[in-house]
């Protein structure tokens, strides 16, 4: 039976799935996946990428969803309910890590929206000298601040109309819109002369790349960051799900939907890049740029080469980027608000607080690209630790027990087997250690060579450890105040939490 709209839960399974897809599909599907896939062996890269969907993303999404469904609380309350109050700090780290990402993600959403507006009203400025325009936007411009404020404030206003109900309503528009925009871009890109070269670049198979550790680590990183596993977002949506909602199949649908969107985005962007680049070398330079460089510098430059159509194509691209970012930002803001609501803060005040904090703490990233890059580095890697904490929660409770109680319980359409126990107790911890070690190695040898110990260097190991350390120390000190008191309402859906 579908839950009624008045209780704050998702109205149906389809509403939940659309919201989960909106959460998972973000800017990374559009500006990261196509570049990383194409540069790491094309078709060969997709093998480990698909494998890690099952060895990281799906099991962690299941744990999160099961935790939320069981406890009806956000990450802090869920960890405290499942493992005891002394583990509340661990759930708080998951929530805080995502909140730190939310601060600068609002800036990304603002940039995308600003570029969308400029594509329509003032494409000449955007395409005339994209690099200097991007430099101006990211060095203290009013435009970045205003659109960042609009993204944070607008998201809070959308969420004020109800938790799951509002997210569901917005995602029913944003997700189909995003798919339609990307599908249109695929068709247009492939009909441009030379566009098919982009598909060749994406799907060529360089099997030799499979023998390189980097390919596997890039694939794992992409899967870990893209699906939203370990962010505490699926956990929050689980708290708004029906009590007899399926966990395993819905988690699988979310991860596969995210993968499908990544492939669609790659089929939309790479043909356009190859068709509009002057040479293969230039196309390689575009895919070799970083996320923001590709989206905000290279793409406007390429669109300018389409006489009469550049503004339209640019508007499509930035509309898709805005839709993808906004649907993920909504999930992050809802997660943060849910943590406060669990502590007894009224929902509207919680949303106002989250929006204000997002605007204030996102300002440094809006005003300085270096701060943005530092925060993206620190909290992007922090998500790996969050994922490990989520796996730890299930492992400590007993992976098999968790699986039988909260994944294969009432309403399960897919009975998950023992492979899940192995993944959360062995595979995820190993993947976490290897991945973190590799990224730190990259910092020492490449990103912050010679300055890895310097806390002020944007991509150093030291800045990462220092910021994580400060956060964990603060959370441990405040642990007794973090967990919702016994008997406190579990959230805006008004249902009491179950102590598993």
Partner 1 sequence: MSVSAVVTMILVLALTWGAFGVALALAARGERRRGKGAERDDGPTPR
> Which residue shows structure tokens 């659309």?
18
Number of alpha carbons in the 13 Å side-chain half-sphere of residue 235? 33
Q: How far is the CB of 277 from partner 1 (least distance, A)?
A: 18
Q: What share of the chain is helix, strand, coil (3-state, %, to 5)?
A: 80, 0, 20
Nearer to partner 1, 217 or 265 (CB): 265
In the complex with partner 1, the residue whose CB is nearer, 188 or 242, is 242
Tell me how far apart the alpha carbons of residues 28 and 291 are, in angstroms, rounded to a whole number.
Answer: 8
Chain centroid to Cα 300, Å, comes to: 24
Residue 95 or residue 255: which is nearer to partner 1 going by CB? 255
- Closer residue to partner 1, CB minimum distance, 284 or 312: 284
Tokens of 353: 């607080």
Shortest Cβ 7–partner 1 spacing (Å)? 17
For residue 398, the SS3 value is coil
Q: How far is the CB of 483 from partner 1 (least distance, A)?
A: 34
Task: Find the shortest distance in angstroms from Cβ 400 to partner 1.
Answer: 23
Distant-in-sequence, close-in-space partners of 322: CB < 8 Å, separation ≥ 6: 109, 112, 113, 116
Binding-site ranges for partner 1 (CB under 8 A):
1, 13, 17, 42-43, 46, 50, 196, 199-200, 202-205, 244, 246, 249-250, 252-253, 256-257, 259-260, 262-263, 411, 413-414
The per-residue b/e assignment along 280-298, b for 16 or more CB within 10 angstroms, e otherwise, is eeebeebbebebbbbbbbb
Q: How many residues does the chain have?
A: 500
Task: Name the residue nearer to partner 1 (CB basis): 207 or 453.
Answer: 207
Looking at beta carbons only, is 411 or 500 nearer to partner 1? 411
**Residue 162 has which token pair?**
């109800």
Q: How far apart are CA 157 and CA 345, in angstroms?
A: 17
Nearest distance from C-beta of residue 302 to partner 1, angstroms: 21
- In angstroms, give the least distance from the CB of 412 to partner 1: 9
- CB of residue 142 vs partner 1: minimum separation in angstroms? 41
Identify which of residues 42 and 68 has a Cβ nearer to partner 1 in the complex. 42
What are the tokens at 21? 């897809």
* Residue 196 or 352 having the CB closest to partner 1: 196
For partner 1, which is the closer residue by CB, 204 or 214?
Answer: 204
Q: Are 386 and 97 in contact (CB under 8 A)?
A: yes
Compute the distance between CA of residue 388 and CA of residue 396 in angstroms, rounded to an integer: 12
Cβ neighbours for 180, distance < 8 A, ≥ 6 positions apart = none
Q: Is 454 helix (H, G, I), strand (E, B) or coil?
A: coil
SS3 assignment, position 42: strand
Q: SS3 of 444, please? A: helix
The minimum distance between CB 188 and partner 1, in angstroms, equals: 18
- To the nearest whole angstrom, how small is the minimum distance from the Cβ of residue 17 to partner 1? 7
């Amino acid at each position: 039976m579908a839950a009624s709209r008045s209780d704050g839960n998702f109205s149906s399974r389809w509403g939940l799935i659309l919201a989960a897809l909106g959460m998972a599909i973000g800017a990374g599907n559009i500006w990261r996946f196509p570049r990383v896939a194409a540069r790491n062996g094309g078709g060969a890269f997709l093998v480990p990428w698909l494998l890690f969907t099952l060895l990281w993303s799906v099991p962690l999404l299941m744990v999160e969803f099961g935790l939320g469904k069981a406890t009806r609380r956000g990450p802090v309350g869920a960890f405290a309910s499942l493992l005891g109050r002394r583990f509340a700090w661990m759930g708080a780290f998951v929530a805080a890590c995502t909140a730190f990402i939310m601060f600068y993600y609002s800036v990304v959403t603002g940039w995308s929206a600003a570029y969308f507006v400029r594509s329509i009203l003032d494409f000449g400025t955007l395409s005339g000298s994209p690099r200097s325009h991007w430099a101006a936007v990211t060095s203290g411009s009013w435009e970045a601040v205003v659109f960042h404020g609009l993204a944070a404030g607008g998201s809070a206003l959308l969420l004020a109309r109800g938790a799951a109900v509002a997210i569901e309503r917005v995602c029913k528009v944003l997700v189909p819109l995003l798919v339609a925009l990307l599908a249109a871009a695929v068709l247009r890109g492939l009909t441009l002369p030379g566009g098919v070269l982009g598909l060749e670049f994406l799907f060529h198979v360089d099997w030799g790349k499979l023998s390189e550790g980097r390919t596997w680590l890039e694939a794992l990183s992409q899967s870990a960051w893209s699906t939203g596993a370990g962010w505490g977002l699926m956990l929050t949506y689980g708290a708004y799900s029906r009590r007899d909602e399926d966990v395993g199949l819905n988690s699988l649908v979310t991860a596969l939907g995210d993968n499908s969107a990544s492939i669609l985005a790659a089929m939309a962007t790479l043909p356009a890049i190859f068709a509009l680049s002057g040479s293969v070398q230039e196309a390689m330079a575009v895919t070799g740029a970083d996320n923001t460089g590709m989206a905000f510098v290279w793409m406007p430059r390429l669109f300018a080469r389409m006489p009469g159509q550049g503004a339209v194509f640019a508007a499509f691209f930035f509309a898709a980027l805005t839709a993808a970012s906004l649907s993920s930002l909504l999930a992050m803001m809802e997660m943060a608000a849910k943590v406060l609501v669990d502590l007894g803060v009224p929902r509207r005040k919680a949303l106002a607080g989250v929006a204000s904090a997002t605007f204030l703490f996102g300002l440094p990233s809006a005003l300085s690209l270096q701060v943005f890059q530092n925060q993206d580095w620190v909290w992007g890697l922090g998500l790996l630790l969050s994922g490990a904490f989520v796996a730890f929660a299930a492992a400590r409770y007993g992976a098999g027990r968790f699986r039988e109680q909260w994944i294969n319980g009432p309403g399960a359409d897919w009975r998950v087997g023992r492979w899940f126990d192995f993944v959360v107790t062995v595979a995820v911890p190993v993947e976490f250690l290897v991945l973190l070690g590799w990224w730190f190695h990259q910092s020492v040898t490449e990103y912050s060579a010679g300055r890895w110990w310097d806390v002020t260097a944007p991509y150093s190991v030291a800045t990462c450890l220092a910021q994580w350390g400060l956060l964990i120390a603060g959370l441990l000190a405040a642990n007794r105040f973090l967990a919702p008191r016994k008997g406190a309402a579990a959230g805006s859906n008004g249902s009491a939490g179950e102590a598993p």
